[in-house]
Amino acid sequence: MIQIENFSKTYAGKIKAVDNLNLEIEDGDLFAFVGLNGAGKSTTIKALVGILPFEEGTIKVDGIDIKSDPIKVKKTLAYVPDNPEVYSFMKGIDYIKFMLSIYGVPYNQEETESLAKELEIYNALGDLVSSYSHGMKQKIVLLAAFLHHPKTLVLDEPFVGLDPKATHILKEKMKKYTEEGNTIFFSTHVLEVAEKLCNKVAIIKEGKLIKAGDMATVIKDSSLENVFLNINDGEAVNE
């Protein structure tokens, strides 16, 4: 479970990127976090995973405060950024082994090869990361994330750079992962995918939470795209 309470983040003492955000993501949720560029999505995610300091509010993962015990929180989750930074001098398989060692998880060749084949990156594991496309880098980071079996998976724009087939494979993997009781919280601009894939959604605008809850409740008899566009055209009101 992720609990975000009264979270605010101000840059340079003036720009309030996120303003008093309150969200609860429960175990088993496949939760979409949507908003325009600059709405505060990445700021929230970076604070949640412990790479962006903040002064206002609290963020807890499974009851553990990210500010009080960041290492313990980081051991329970995996984070995949929108622009995956991977050591280019490593081979793909070496990167996997390195990441598993950080989490203290033994390397399992059978499981690694099985998941690599599922994500269609198996044949590139022996290649240098420097030869990878953006989509391949995204796949190797996702592979590493899933392999240490985090209870909570946090993804920032996970579909960027993936081809249609890889996107489909990832969507199916995400559904299966949450059906096993794990939690996925991710940002995306692909609203149609979010609507079909997720059981819950939150919409943020200019740092403020506008709507959040069960997908069916938020969209009612409309679509997520229409709800989102109405909010950002100024026609919707806070609820």
User: What pLDDT, on the 0 to 100 scale, is given for residue 95?
Assistant: 96
In a domain, 238, yes or no: no
Dihedral sign, CA of 190, 194, 195, 197?
positive
> For the segment 22-48, what is each residue's pLDDT rounded down to a tens digit?
999 999 999 999 999 989 999 999 999
% of the chain with per-residue pLDDT over 70: 97
Residues 169-185: what's their mean pLDDT? 95
In a domain, 239, yes or no: no
In a domain, 118, yes or no: yes
Confidence band of 235 (pLDDT split at 50, 70, 90):
very low
Q: Which of 62, 71, 147 is nearest to 109 (CA)?
A: 147
What's the chain's average pLDDT?
Answer: 92
Q: What is the CA radius of gyration of the chain?
A: 18
**What separation in angstroms does the CA of 56 have from each of 21, 34, 120, 133?**
10, 22, 42, 38
Query: Which domain CATH number covers 9?
Result: 3.40.50.300
User: What pLDDT, on the 0 to 100 scale, is given for residue 236?
Assistant: 42
In a domain, 160, yes or no: yes
User: What pLDDT, on the 0 to 100 scale, is given for residue 184?
Assistant: 97
In a domain, 136, yes or no: yes
DSSP codes of every residue in 156-178:
ESTTTT--HHHHHHHHHHHHHHH
In a domain, 128, yes or no: yes
Residue 213 has pLDDT above 60, yes or no: yes
User: What pLDDT, on the 0 to 100 scale, is given for residue 126?
Assistant: 96
Range of the domain at 226: 2-232
Q: Would you state the structure tokens that stand for residue 124, as one six-digit string?
A: 């590139």
User: What pLDDT, on the 0 to 100 scale, is given for residue 82?
Assistant: 86
> For the segment 118-159, what is each residue's pLDDT rounded down to a tens digit?
889 999 999 999 999 989 999 999 999 999 999 999 999 999
User: What pLDDT, on the 0 to 100 scale, is given for residue 152?
Assistant: 96
> For the segment 97-117, what is each residue's pLDDT rounded down to a tens digit?
999 999 999 999 999 999 999
In a domain, 133, yes or no: yes
* 205 and 21 Cβ atoms separated by less than 8 Å: no
Give the number of domains in the chain. Answer: 1
% of the chain with per-residue pLDDT over 90: 84
In a domain, 36, yes or no: yes
User: What pLDDT, on the 0 to 100 scale, is given for residue 234?
Assistant: 58
